[in-house]
Structures are given as C-alpha cells and as structure tokens.
Amino acid sequence: MPNARAAHLTRRGILAAGGALGLGAVLAACGDDKASSGAGSGKETAAAKSGPWTFKDDRDETVKLDKVPANIVAFVGVAAALHDYGIGVKGVFGPTKLQNGKADVQAGDLDVSKVTVIGNIWDEFSVEKYAALSPDVLITTMFDDAGTLWYVPETSKDEIAKLAPSVGISVYDRQMTEPLQRVYELAESLGADVTSKKVTAAKKRFEDAAARLRAATKAKPDIKVLAGSASQDIFYVSGSNLSIDLEYFKALGVNFVEPSAEALKASGGWFENLSWENVDKYDADVIIMDNRTSAIQPDAIEEATWKKLPAVKAGQVIGRNPEPILSYDKCAPLLEELAEAIEKAKKVS
C-alpha cells in the first residue's frame, strides 16, 4: 500500500505503507497502464441473476440496483478475489501491472491484459477511463474505521462517487476470516456458485490449513516470528494488531515479535521504523517479509546487518502479502506456508 507522497505522512499515507509495512518504495512498483484496455474478463463471470441487487457493505451503507451489476470496477485485490469465484470485472485500480507488463502479485490470477487499468499506482485514478466503462458499482477495501475507500484518491473521490455507487469491505482491525466471509457473500450476491466443487474445496483447504498452523504453533510455541518490510532507508517491523492476516495468525497461536505501543505510535499502531543499523533490535526465528512490489525483496537486500540476522542465516525467511487476496483459494496457501515454516524452524534466537 505504498504512497508516492511519502514525505507527507498523513493517516492515509501511513496506511499506504503496507497495512502495516513498506512506506518507502512506491515508485518502484509503477507500471505503465497505457497498454491496458479492452473489456473485462466476461467469460469467467458467473451467470447473472435476474431481478434487483442489494448489498450492505461494511460502512453500513446499502447499494440497491435494478439488476445485478455487470460493469464492475474494483481495487485489483478485490477483483482478483472475485475472479476466484468466477466473477469478472471491467476495470481495476491499484497495483496491477509491472513495468514489463506482467501481473503484479496483487493481481492474483487475473488476466491483466483483459481489464482496463484506470490507475496502477497510488493517487492515480483516471476518472475519464472510469466513466467510459459505464460502471454499475465500484468495490474496494477500507483500511480505517472512517470508511475511506482504498486507492480512491481524495482529490477526485467526490467526482468518482457521482458515477456509480460504491461497496467497501473493511480490512481494518479484524481477523482475516471476517473479510474473507464478506467477499464470499459479495461474490454470491453477484452470481457466484459458492456451492461449486472449486469453491467448497478451497474453503476446506483453508480450514485444514488453519488447523495445521494451530498445530504447528502448539508444537513449537517458542518459535518467534517477525513481520517485516524493507525499503531503501527503513526496515519496518509490524505489530500484530490492525492487520487482518497477523491478527488471525496470532489467534492461531503464532508467537509474534511485538514492538511496544510507544514504538508503534508514529504509524498509528501499524509498525515500527528501524534504521538498517538497528535491524537486529528484535530476536526472531522466522521472518515473514512483505512480498509486494513496493517493498525490497529479501534476495535484494545488501545490508550487512540483515545478512547477519540468525533467521536469515538459517534460511528461515518467507514471504507475506499484507494485502491478502480475499478468497479462500488465495488465503489457504498463506497459512500453509507459515505452518510449514514453523514446523521446520530451528530455534535460532
């Protein structure tokens, strides 16, 4: 959730740092949206239901339409989740394409060549492209309790709101299972067959993965896990509160490194900023690192203090997406990977 205006550390800017992490490197995530065009991935869309459509979002706002939305525009992570349920979108905004044209990690299995990208980076949202899609509804997430729509620019939000109603799914200060259920309900309302073999198998896999992670943490309660994100000048250590994945992992028994409330204060409770000289402030056996393109990836970190960390030397570093794609299909592997890391981890701290 990087913010190109990082120097102006507003509440929205802090959230743009990573649901907890990764403030500095937004521009590295830029992709060119000029090649993005065309209709949405219509062939994947479940058969539309006839009749009126109603959905109450996490702002307690109810959208009522005469028919099920056909022209959906969504934040890329939400679009990726809906794709997993067979629901296509016409347009997306948020980190969608890399500079080489390939899909960003937040796009999941979306065919990014078949959706119109109306904004690929923070504060980029083409109102003209959006209007041209004749949107029925805009869907995105929310990272605060004020109902701020994620990646919808403050400067144009009123103009955008006039073009179509919006749906906001909260991913703030709750466990992953809650927004997962909400997106599941949203997909069902849009025509998804949630009784299909694919969806039921994905949900079962998620439940099994949760049980596996709980068992792993019970077997190795002393394994300490640090959630981090790397930028050029700062290493961010996330607290386990506020972020949906970390809150859920903690509920399953994961023993997280926890910065003090005072250390988290500057970011509104999300993360602590460390200089690279102080990256060894906390002991950890496993490190889970922000895998979004806005963050420097572990294999590209050259800092000597990083390379000397016991978890790094032991090869006990895995990825983490602070903005999980909210489908059971995409969230199950996150639990499985962490469970495996804890199962195999040696106590090195």
Q: Please give the full DSSP string across 146-185, using - where no structure is assigned.
A: T-PPTT--TTTHHHHHTTS-EEEEE-SSS-THHHHHHHHH
Strand pairing class (137-142; 72-75): parallel
240/217 Cα distance (integer angstroms): 16
**266 vs 152, residue with greater confidence:** 152
**What is residue 32's predicted lDDT score, i.e. its pLDDT?**
37
> What is the CB neighbour count within 10 angstroms for residue 336?
17
Q: Which residue has the higher pLDDT, 279 or 3?
A: 279
DSSP class of residue 216? Answer: H
Q: How confident is the model at residue 173 (pLDDT cuts 50, 70, 90)?
A: very high
Whole-number pLDDT of residue 177: 98
Name the token pair of 274: 């460390």
Quick one: DSSP state of residue 324? -
Angstrom distances, CA of residue 280 to CA of 192, 255, 257, 340 = 47, 18, 12, 24
**Lowest mean per-residue pLDDT among 1-5, 251-255, 276-280, 301-305:** 1-5
DSSP 296: B
Answer positive or negative: Cα dihedral of 125, 131, 134, 137: positive
* Average pLDDT value over all residues in the chain: 89
Per-residue pLDDT tens digits for 27-62: 233 333 333 333 344 444 444 456 799 999 999 999
pLDDT of residue 51: 77
- Kindly tell me if the per-residue pLDDT of 26 is higher than 70: no
